[in-house]
Structure 1
């Protein structure tokens, strides 16, 4: 129990001011997210089943009154008090407690997986905000560049060095850019709301997003994919719990022992004097519960065996899914890393072409349409780079979740 409290206290760090890193947001989400809190409370509730499973059944107390007193040598029996305590067969309570403890441990693994999944969800909501901010920045810069082009084209037209078509063409593209910029700005609030709700914060709470991301050149260590993974550890623990459940079913099918005490109130005889006249009777008792009806015990044992088989198959299926998802996520990570290198080259070369075309246009006044086309191509590559960088980090975040990376 102590180790669980330490982990929870670690998760419940309180940060002052605005969080500046994604890891800070992970901690805030771990502290505030109601779904994760509910998952942990479910684990705490499972812990409370352990003392229930370890406890003896309640003693039985009974009282009987003789409407027609039973005459005995020492007097008539008036009433009877009985107290009985049943004890399950040796080891039954321990087996029951073991099952409850293992089920609680399995629920804790479910909580750990929920925490890892929440971290992935936070990352999956964080990186699109980076992409959007980058697109807004690029579109805003593009609008400013088009305004400068419009000024150049208008000046050349006024000096009879260019055509009106050039000025109109750049004006059309500028209007498109401003409209796109407005749409992108409107898109930000829904993404901010999605992110803040994962942290259980106000919809419009400020989200600080880094203005630059770097692609990771380090391969994710896949060794932990099948080790120390809550998704698999949960099934291992449930498999062990089902083995203990089989032991418990066998123990429950054994006799139950009970001890008790009867106290009988005896009235005095008035017709004659006898030794111990009216002496109340005290009688110790031993009770044996005989499990004659075996069907329920056999059924409980078979249920435990079937659950063992089920958990084994579930684990095999989860392993297959984890390996498949890991390979796809790792492929995506490498794919977007390669695309980032490609886009860097294309951006550099397209910028060179644009500089040459713009210089030629300023000198001769020709090929302005090619200048605009190249400018839009450059914008496209920069946006594709921002999107590839986002997807690269999303793939890394998924790999971190699949390998149960510790933050």
Structure 2
């Protein structure tokens, strides 16, 4: 009996001790992005993922292609070489015999109106700049994807530890129920219930170990390693704490500066402005310069000629003017896109900071009262069961409640980390509902309840850019 009580207290003592020693001191300076925890294993995974992921190379190839278009835009049109012959009559070649018979060699070169080539070059450069933002998005998404995968692995392994603790608790409960049944003080149903729960725990343990293996293989795939490469971890979810929400204005400014989507849209706005200027310049005529020499043979001296031509934009009303209107509409659409993205980014930043503050307060409730109250309830129930004043079902419920509360506490910490990852990723995805985060007992061993969705940001686009919501919480029902 006392051994079981000691085990119950040991289950929650690390959290209780951490709750007593931690103080929530305000940061010395406002942080724009919550600090993300790291360790050597995670750093190595991030380095290898950025170096080995094919998505990075796939994103870099269009950028190289766009940069190759810049010198093309500034190049002159290819010159035209013409070789011909002019002959008098059809009875034979009269070159050298007739004054008007000769060979001709002509070269012509088209010359755009001054300023057109420069504008075309600027348009191509801005297009390459817009394309380069995709590399930044893929980089952010890969890093966020690896961090979320690593967080899922840590959470799965910590859930396994909780399951092992609960299994030890059930074994002691089964031994106690057997002793009371053999001495005639307890019912046979108590012993059968304990044995039933032990078998259920073994099933859930198998499911969790399979989940852990999948998590490891997923991380290895993300970093370009062999799938079965072991991933030792020393960090625990409970050691990560809750990131500081930071200052709203600083966070908004950081998001507006680092967002690849906003940088791309701004580059497209600048490109659209230059395209409008180029479309207006296209209404001006281009020139053609040509020169040639005509050898006549015999005693006749060679002839030469030089020409200057100019295009006549007489159809500008249906062509060049329409291009100007088209580019103007595109420029307006790009400008509206910038406004939309800025609004969405500010909203997402505030959503995450509000959610992070709520999770921080929720963690404080766990640390400052709920976990200790759960431990005290289990201790009191065990004492009452020993003297016959409580049922065995009450003991089982109290014992399970300790693990359930601790797992919900870990899930809340993980949700806070996902929000910080989404903030670092500059995700545009909305924050998931927090309604179930503090209430759900989903995935708790022995409860059979259904977990709520995690409070995360966006799902990655590594897919897609940016989304940090993890699948770990959705798998809690296997516990």
What is the CA–CA distance in structure 1 between the aligned matches of 2:177 and 2:64, rounded to whole Å? 71
Q: Which residue of 1 aligns with 2:22?
A: none
What is the CA–CA distance in structure 1 between the aligned matches of 2:276 and 2:231, rounded to whole Å? 52
1:316 matched to 2:336? The reply is: no
State the shift of 1:281 in Å: 1.8
- RMSD of aligned alpha carbons: 2.5
Residue 267 of structure 1, aligned match among 297, 301, 312: 297
Q: Which residue of 2 aligns with 1:165?
A: 189
Q: Which residue of 1 aligns with 2:328?
A: 305
1:252 matched to 2:282? The reply is: yes
1:88-127 aligned within 5 A: 88-127=112-151
Higher mean alpha-carbon deviation, 154-163 vs 377-386, is at 154-163
What is the CA–CA distance in structure 1 between the aligned matches of 2:207 and 2:106, rounded to whole Å? 82
| Structure 2 unaligned regions, length at least 5 | 1-38, 429-479
Contact (CA 8 Å) 1:77, 1:264: kept in 2 or not? no
Contact (CA 8 Å) 2:88, 2:98: kept in 1 or not? no
State the shift of 1:365 in Å: 8.4
- With normalisation by structure 1, the TM-score equals 0.85
Cα distance per residue 1:104-160 (max 9 Å; x no partner) = 111112321232223222233222222211111111111111112212221232233
C-alpha change, 1:289 and 1:71, in structure 2 (3 Å) is farther
Number of aligned residue pairs: 378
Contact (CA 8 Å) 1:162, 1:365: kept in 2 or not? no
Q: Which residue of 2 aligns with 1:215?
A: 241
State the shift of 1:341 in Å: 2.1
Q: Which residue of 1 aligns with 2:426?
A: 402
Q: Which residue of 2 aligns with 1:37?
A: 57
Q: Which residue of 2 aligns with 1:393?
A: 417
What is the CA–CA distance in structure 1 between the aligned matches of 2:273 and 2:388, rounded to whole Å? 86
1:339 matched to 2:339? The reply is: no
Q: Which residue of 2 aligns with 1:16?
A: none
Q: Which residue of 2 aligns with 1:279?
A: 301
1:227 matched to 2:250? The reply is: no
Q: Which residue of 1 aligns with 2:110?
A: 86
What is the CA–CA distance in structure 1 between the aligned matches of 2:262 and 2:390, rounded to whole Å? 66
What is the CA–CA distance in structure 1 between the aligned matches of 2:243 and 2:215, rounded to whole Å? 28
Cα distance per residue 1:198-233 (max 9 Å; x no partner) = 334433333444323422342244131223432212
Cα distance per residue 1:243-285 (max 9 Å; x no partner) = 11112122222122232221112132xxxxxxxx232222233
What is the CA–CA distance in structure 2 between the aligned matches of 1:118 and 1:376, rounded to whole Å? 38
State the shift of 1:323 in Å: 2.2
Contact (CA 8 Å) 1:225, 1:403: kept in 2 or not? no
Q: Which has the larger Rg?
A: 1
Partner of 1:227, secondary structure, is helix
Cα distance per residue 1:330-384 (max 9 Å; x no partner) = 2222222222222333222211222233244445585332211101111111111
State the shift of 1:394 in Å: 0.5
Q: Which residue of 2 aligns with 1:184?
A: 208
What is the CA–CA distance in structure 2 between the aligned matches of 1:364 and 1:176, rounded to whole Å? 27
Higher mean alpha-carbon deviation, 28-37 vs 155-164, is at 155-164
- Greater strand fraction, Structure 1 or Structure 2: 1
Contact (CA 8 Å) 2:96, 2:300: kept in 1 or not? no
- With normalisation by structure 2, the TM-score equals 0.73
Partner of 2:71, secondary structure, is helix
C-alpha change, 1:81 and 1:99, in structure 2 (3 Å) is same
Contact (CA 8 Å) 2:243, 2:417: kept in 1 or not? no
What is the CA–CA distance in structure 1 between the aligned matches of 2:354 and 2:150, rounded to whole Å? 21
What is the CA–CA distance in structure 2 between the aligned matches of 1:290 and 1:197, rounded to whole Å? 61
Residue 383 of structure 1, aligned match among 399, 402, 407: 407
- Greater helix fraction, Structure 1 or Structure 2: 1
C-alpha change, 1:337 and 1:325, in structure 2 (3 Å) is same
Q: Which residue of 1 aligns with 2:469?
A: none
1:139-154 aligned within 5 A: 139-154=163-178
What is the CA–CA distance in structure 2 between the aligned matches of 1:341 and 1:174, rounded to whole Å? 32
